[in-house]
Amino acid sequence: MTAGRLTGKTILITAAAQGIGRASALACAREGASVIATDINAELLERLCAEAPGIRTAVLDVRSDAAVSALAAELPALDVLFNCAGMVANGSVLECTEADWDLSFDLNVKSMFRMTRAFLPGMLAKAAQSGGSGSVINMASMASSIKGFANRCAYGATKAAVIGLTKSLAADYVKAGLRANALCPGTVDTPSLRGRIASAADPVQAEKDFVARQPMGRLALVEDIAPMVVFLASDESLFVTGQTMLVDGGVTI
């Protein structure tokens, strides 16, 4: 049997029960990684387990300090941490409530601070011991990294913060065997995007509008994004750190 691109690597993914996180868990497992797929939704995780029994799952609310610390204490040291969890709050600055703002920052940004603080010491020790390299992958978005979009006040602010957090990590640990990169997808066909389309006043038009802003004329599939996760997790990206990796179908040409 030939080794996969991620053979020997232990990878933890948050929000891995659906959408981009789930596709990335499956792609990393196919490349030989030991994948720990975490999500707040136990039922969806069970379905993932049924499809890919080799993947270890754990229920994890990334907004809970206690749960994050407990999981970090229980698991072996990681090679790769993919902080994927995040949400979209709709609205301009005048429409965004303080509750939306706070929830968006807690789930989209502070969760990454929490996860990184809990798992980084183990990752650094493992990299030092093996002479290898750890990789943190933080989910940002094309929306905020280069291009602004209407009605994405809290979302754009959080995803820009993710990029700042990622660059600080990259700068602080570049000599310690750790890479950190932010992933910036265009619009991806996932359950949460389907929810946003369904809740629009005119769902048919809403879908057309999402597609229209993609120069390639289609939404991204989760399978368009997962290969970038595999690349950033693998030793193929050993010389890549502090970057915002756009996978956006040409939106930012």
Residues that bind ligand NAD (CB under 6 A): 14-15, 17-21, 39-41, 44, 60-63, 84-86, 107, 139, 141, 185, 187-188, 190-193
The nearest distance, CB 1 to ligand NAD, in angstroms, is 31
The catalytic position among 155, 162, 166, 234 is 155
Q: How far is CA 162 from the centre of its chain?
A: 10
Q: Report yes or no: 167 and 242 within 8 Å, Cβ to Cβ.
A: yes
Burial of 53 (0-12, 13-18, 19+ CB in 10 A): exposed
Q: How far is the CB of 69 from ligand NAD (least distance, A)?
A: 15
Contact 144, 252 (CB under 8 A): no
As measured in angstroms, the least distance from the Cβ of 148 to ligand NAD is 14
Report the DSSP beta bridge partners of residue 38. 58
Encoded tokens for 102:
């706070």
CA-CA distance, 188 to 140, in Å (whole number)?
Answer: 13
Q: Which of 138, 172, 173 is nearest to 158 (CA)?
A: 138
To ligand NAD, the closest distance from the beta carbon of 29 in angstroms equals: 17
Closer by beta carbon to ligand NAD, 107 or else 127: 107
Per-residue DSSP letter, 23 = H
Which residue number, 6 or 85, has a Cβ lying nearer to ligand NAD?
85
Question: Is 155 annotated in the active site?
Answer: yes
Nearest residue (CB) to ligand NAD, 120 versus 183? 183
Which one, 60 or 120, has the nearer CB to ligand NAD? 60
Structure tokens at 240: 């890549």
Catalytically active residues, by annotation: 155
